[in-house]
Each structure stands twice: as structure tokens, then as C-alpha cells.
Copies of this chain bind each other. A is one copy, B any other.
Amino acid sequence: MKLQQLRYLVEVAKQGLNVSEAAEKLHTSQPGISKQIRLLEDELGIQVFIRNGKRVVAVSEPGQQVLDIAGRILREAQNLKRVGDEFAREEEGELTIATTHTQARYALPTAVQAFLKRYPKVSLRIKQGNPIQICEMVVAGEADFAVATESIDQFSELTALDCYQWNRSVVAPLGHPILSLDHPLTLADIAAWPIVTYDYAFAGRNNINRAFELSGIEPNIVLTAIDTDVIKTYVGLGLGVGIIATMAFEPERDTQLGFVHAEHLFLPSTTRIGIRRDAYLRGFAYHFIELFAPHLTRQVVDRSMRGGDDE
């Protein structure tokens, strides 16, 4: 059994059971992969892949278990390399963060700036996606951790760390009636206008829905956007009033918009970091997390990754 063979297996599975594509991705020849996979299958005494004649068409039941284990082995092998780098080149390396637009645009910049200054030799990468996608990136080992408000706790491979809580505000064009009410803002006040807010999968959109459902008021949502900038743009054009994350309102930039707090109308949302439990984090990765959420020290993060309940 060789690590290469496991890599081949996993890559073939990842490429939708297409050996040729796997060969390309791995910069090697297709017959080589075929052969090594057969050798491994012989050694294990089982077929990992079910073939229809010469074509690979499915993963067998034992094959799925083999793939799971192989994935774990390969991830651990990656971790070995990281241990090496961690000690040989403390200040160098890569850090990949998967996150959503809102976090990347409004929450992360401060931490990123401090991080770049502290670790000039680390190449920081930010991958954007929707909450499901970014969690999958972390699960697949394509990112070191995820920062998101949704979905993290749906992945059992990930441990979720609370970073901060936030809530929503309403924005509208300057002079809009909703900005000069003679009473505290209510859901009914908002629902009196067309609403522009986040797409269903993003930024605590669930909490917005729930608030309206509970109140029995039917909101008229005319545009759902993935990011706040789009919302602000259309609110500025007069399409309706916007419900956005409070932190996403920038008084000095958003000069044509007015702003009303709506924290009392919606349940707060919690932004979390999601990390694979079996990942090996570089020292600077812990440091970034602490820059982003100071209460998440290395000790807290480690405890959460290693079981969390015992010890």
C-alpha cells in the first residue's frame, strides 16, 4: 500500500469516477493510475470501484469506507508537512480563509491588515462562496477555516467557534419617511415598503424571515442579494428599503443613505469560525483567529477541536 495509490483513489472519486481527468489533475498518465488502483484493490482483496466492462461507474460499499479512510490518511500526511513548515519556517506559509461576502467586506479587513503586517511572508488567500460552499472547502481541505454566519454546525467534521454577535439595521434613501418616524421602528413600518435584503442562504436571512413569520406580517421582498453592496445600490436607486447587517453601514461612504437601528426587531445572529477537527493549524493561523476574535485564544481553539467535551 502506498500513499500515491490512495491519492489516486481519492482523486478519481473526486473527479466523478473519471480516471483520465484524475490523471490530468495529478499530472501523471492515465494508465499509471488505473494500474495502481488495481494493485491496491488486489492487495485489499476488494473492489473499490464498480466497473461496467471497462468503465468505472460507481463506488462499492467497502470502497466508500476505503475512500473515507484514505481521505483521512492524506489529510494527516498534509498535516505532517505543515508540522515541518511550522518549525522550519515559522513566518512563512499559506493561510486560506473561506468566507462570505459580508464577512470579507466588513468584518475581516481589520484582522487581515494586522495579519499582513505581522506576517509579511505568509501568503493569505481568501476564498469567497456561499456558506455551504465555504464549509465544503474546509471539509475538503481547500481552506484552513471558514468564517460564516450560517451552516457551519451542519457539518459534523467541523467544530464551530462563536466570534461575535450582530444584528440588522434598515437603510433607505435620504428623506425617506421611514427615517423620520415619530415612534420606534416596527416590523409593520418596514413591511409598508418594498424590501431589499439578503439571499435566503446568507447572512442570517433565516432570522429575518422568522421575525416576520412570528409577527404575522407578510413582507414584500423585491430583491434578494448575496452581498450588501448590491442591496445598498438598489436602495439608493429607490427600489425599496434595505435590511442589512449593522456593521455593513458605512456613514462616510454611504452618504446618500439614511440608517435606522433595527436590533430590537430581529434575533441576533452569531458569526462563527468553522475548522476541521482533525486539521493541523499553523501558528499564524491561531494568531489570525485571535486577531479576528480576541477571546479565541489558541487554547480555546484547541479545546474546541479536540472533542470539546472531555478533558
Which residues of chain B are near A46, meaning CB under 8 Å?
83-84, 87-88
Evaluate whether A84 and B62 lie within 8 angstroms (CB atoms) in the complex, with A2-B3, A3-B3, A311-B156 already known.
yes
Among B62, B72, B83, B84, point to the contact of A83 (Cβ < 8 A).
B62
Pick from A74-82, A98-106, A247-255 the stretch touching chain B: A74-82
Which residues of chain B are near A43, meaning CB under 8 Å?
84
Q: Judging by beta carbons under 8 Å apart, are A309 and B308 in contact?
A: yes
Pick from A11-19, A63-71, A125-133 the stretch touching chain B: A63-71
Among B62, B77, B310, B311, point to the contact of A73 (Cβ < 8 A).
B77
Q: Judging by beta carbons under 8 Å apart, are B45 and A88 in contact?
A: yes
| Copies of this chain present | 2
A189 located at the interface, meaning its Cβ lies under 8 Å from any Cβ of chain B in the complex: no
Q: State how many angstroms separate the Cβ of A285 from the closest Cβ of chain B.
A: 15
Per-position contact with B for A1-12: 1 when CB-CB < 8 Å, else 0? Answer: 111000000000
Among B85, B86, B156, point to the contact of A310 (Cβ < 8 A).
B156
Q: Judging by beta carbons under 8 Å apart, are A2 and B1 in contact?
A: no
A44 located at the interface, meaning its Cβ lies under 8 Å from any Cβ of chain B in the complex: yes
A1–B69 CA distance with the chains assembled, in angstroms: 18
Residue of chain B at shortest CB distance from A88: B45
Which residues of chain B are near A44, meaning CB under 8 Å?
80-81, 83-84, 88
A51 located at the interface, meaning its Cβ lies under 8 Å from any Cβ of chain B in the complex: no
Evaluate whether A84 and B45 lie within 8 angstroms (CB atoms) in the complex, with A3-B1, A73-B76, A280-B69 already known.
yes
Which residues of chain B are near A309, meaning CB under 8 Å?
308-309
CB pairs A–B below 8 angstroms (27 shown): A1-B3, A1-B77, A1-B80, A2-B2, A3-B3, A43-B84, A44-B80, A44-B88, A45-B85, A45-B87, A45-B88, A46-B83, A46-B84, A61-B87, A62-B83, A62-B86, A69-B76, A69-B79, A69-B83, A69-B280, A72-B76, A73-B73, A73-B76, A156-B307, A156-B310, A156-B311, A309-B309
**Chain A residues near B (Cβ < 8 Å):** 1-3, 43-46, 61-62, 65-66, 69-70, 72-73, 76-77, 79-81, 83-89, 156, 280, 307-311
